[in-house]
């Protein structure tokens, strides 16, 4: 039995983060990320993580991959929710938001090798 390819590890982390965040929102629906009293969507934390990951040197490839997987999962989880809904808790669980996450996850799956080669 061989070792797992890095693009598959990336994708497993990506899916695990989406499932973890969705579970956390389900279990703690009133839990919000507040900074200076302002609600911050986890989408923006994902953008920050991807930016930090891409700014790291190539020798930190494991950290780049982890920050890329976690960050892109946070982005994928909320992108359609932020762009196409009224941004309420009900909208987070709407068919539109869930379909957006599913399409995003499929796109990441299809391009996971190219993504990993970039990061």
**% of residues, the chain, pLDDT over 70:** 99
Transcribe 37-73 into DSSP letters: TEE--HHHHHHHHHHHHHHS-GGGHHHHHHHHHHHHH
**Predicted confidence (pLDDT) at residue 2 exceeds the cutoff of 80:** no
What is this structure's pTM? 0.92
Compute the distance between CA of residue 79 and CA of residue 7 in angstroms, rounded to an integer. Answer: 22
pLDDT score at 106: 97
pLDDT band at residue 29 under the 50/70/90 scheme: confident
The answer to whether residues 113 and 55 touch, using CB atoms and an 8 Å cutoff, is: no
Highest-confidence segment of 37-41, 58-62, 106-110: 106-110
Contact 70, 49 (CB under 8 A): yes
- pLDDT above 80 for 1: no
């Amino acid at each position: 039995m061989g070792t797992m390819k890095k693009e598959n590890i990336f994708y497993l982390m990506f899916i695990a983060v989406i499932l973890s965040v969705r579970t956390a929102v389900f279990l703690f629906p009133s839990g919000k990320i507040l900074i200076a009293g302002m609600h911050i969507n986890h989408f923006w934390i994902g953008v920050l993580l991807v930016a930090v990951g891409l700014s790291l040197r190539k020798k930190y490839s494991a950290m780049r991959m982890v920050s890329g997987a976690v960050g892109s999962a946070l982005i994928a989880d909320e992108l359609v929710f932020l762009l196409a809904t009224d941004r309420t808790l009900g909208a987070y669980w709407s068919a539109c938001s869930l379909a957006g996450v599913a399409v995003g996850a499929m796109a990441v799956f299809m391009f996971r090798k190219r993504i990993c080669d970039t990061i």
